[in-house]
């Protein structure tokens, strides 16, 4: 099966233009299946020879090994994709993974920060140092545009359009989309640009927006370590990751009345179902809606106090517009 897996991975790379991380995940999932079939002592390891019964045994082994339901679902998705490819290439007559159902599981609400917690986090980096200004800009941009950390570190200077307040992003599957840059994020970027140091990158079109102290492009791991340091310093929930800021971006927009399809576009979600997990609203918003609409509401509830930096129009703080440099 190893040769067929290799062909499938090349197809993902060349024809589907899949990211390195996606290819790595498929490789791990499919090699895991190949190892299982080998350990079972069966000689039926070619795609054409593996049936649904063998795959059910594999899924059962995953459950016994303590894999999370989400991990098992991902592995099943990898198997279905692989066997669809195998059928097209006449390596298999059927797709034995197709009848297998994903394990049921309650979808957890994403962890997010409140407006006050976002402000607390943004006040933590040292605004009098180069690295502090860089880190403030990173946090502002992630929260302002709802970025994935991979999109953030992949940003180049030429992707930014301060006049229009947008940034061009390369997301999952190397697909391009546009993100919004709010006033606070734009101001933080300008302050950082005024003091940053950069190495010679050769191609002026590929100058990275965010760099380390040596002037080289940041990595996703570097951003995660940076945030982890500030989370400990300001005493916020240790579950907070760079993706938490993306969750907060979506939650705050919807909580303040943004259209869900607009949020879907801003997040770069292919399916609206993925965005719908953010449609939970705060108790304060529910009380406000009740007080405004119900004829028997006894007293007017206080308006929500969530302050967001996800775009300049959504913020509750007054600020002067940054001057163009």
Residue 318 has pLDDT above 60, yes or no: no
- Tokens representing 20 are 């390195």
Q: Tens digits of per-residue pLDDT, 229-273?
A: 999 999 999 999 999 999 999 889 888 888 888 889 888 888 887
Q: Name residue, tokens 């940041």.
A: 218
Closest CA to 325 of 206, 199, 191, 208: 191
Q: Tens digits of per-residue pLDDT, 34-45?
A: 888 887 666 567
**Strand ranges inside 121-223, DSSP E:** 160-161, 166-170, 176-180
Q: Which residues are catalytic?
A: 148, 172, 243, 246, 269, 278
Share of the chain above pLDDT 70, in %: 82
pLDDT value of position 105: 62
Q: Tens digits of per-residue pLDDT, 97-149?
A: 988 888 876 566 678 898 999 999 999 999 999 999 999 999 999 999 999 99
Higher-confidence position of 80 and 305: 80
CATH number of 115-278: 1.10.443.10
- Does the structural domain 2-88 have CATH classification 1.10.10? no
- Phi-psi map region of 17: left, alpha, beta (phi>0 left; psi -120 to 50 alpha): left
List the chain domain ranges.
2-88, 115-278
Whole-angstrom distance, CA of residue 133 vs CA of residue 240: 21
What residues contact 207, with CB distance under 8 A and at least 6 apart?
Answer: 156, 157, 158, 198, 201
pLDDT value of position 159: 94
């Amino acid at each position: 099966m190893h040769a067929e897996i290799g062909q499938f991975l090349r197809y993902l790379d060349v024809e589907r233009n899949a990211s390195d991380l996606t290819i790595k995940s498929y490789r791990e999932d499919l090699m895991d299946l190949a190892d299982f079939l080998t350990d079972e002592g069966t000689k039926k390891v070619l795609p054409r020879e593996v049936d649904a019964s063998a795959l059910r045994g594999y899924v059962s082994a995953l459950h016994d090994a303590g894999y999370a339901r989400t991990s098992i679902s991902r592995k099943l998705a990898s198997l279905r994709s692989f066997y669809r490819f195998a059928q097209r290439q006449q390596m298999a007559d059927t797709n034995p993974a197709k009848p297998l159902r994903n394990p049921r599981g309650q979808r957890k609400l994403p962890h997010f920060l409140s407006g006050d917690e976002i402000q607390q986090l943004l006040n933590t980096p040292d605004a009098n140092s180069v690295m502090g200004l860089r880190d403030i800009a990173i946090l502002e941009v992630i929260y302002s545009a709802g970025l994935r950390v991979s999109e953030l570190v992949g940003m180049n200077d030429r992707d930014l359009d301060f006049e229009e307040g947008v940034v061009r992003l390369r997301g999952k599957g190397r697909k391009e989309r546009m993100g919004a840059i709010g006033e606070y994020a734009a101001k933080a970027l300008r302050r950082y640009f005024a003091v940053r140091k950069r190495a010679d990158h050769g191609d002026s079109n590929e100058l990275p927006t965010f760099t380390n102290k040596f002037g080289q492009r940041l990595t996703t791991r570097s951003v995660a370590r940076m945030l982890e340091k500030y989370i400990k310093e300001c005493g916020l929930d240790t579950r907070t990751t760079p993706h938490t800021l993306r969750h907060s971006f979506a939650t705050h927009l919807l909580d303040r009345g943004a259209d869900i399809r607009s949020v879907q576009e801003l997040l770069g979600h292919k399916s609206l179902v993925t965005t719908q997990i953010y449609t939970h609203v705060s108790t304060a918003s529910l009380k406000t809606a009740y007080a405004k609409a119900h004829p028997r509401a006894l007293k007017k509830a206080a308006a929500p106090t969530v302050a967001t930096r996800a775009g300049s129009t959504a913020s509750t703080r007054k600020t002067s517009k940054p001057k163009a440099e």
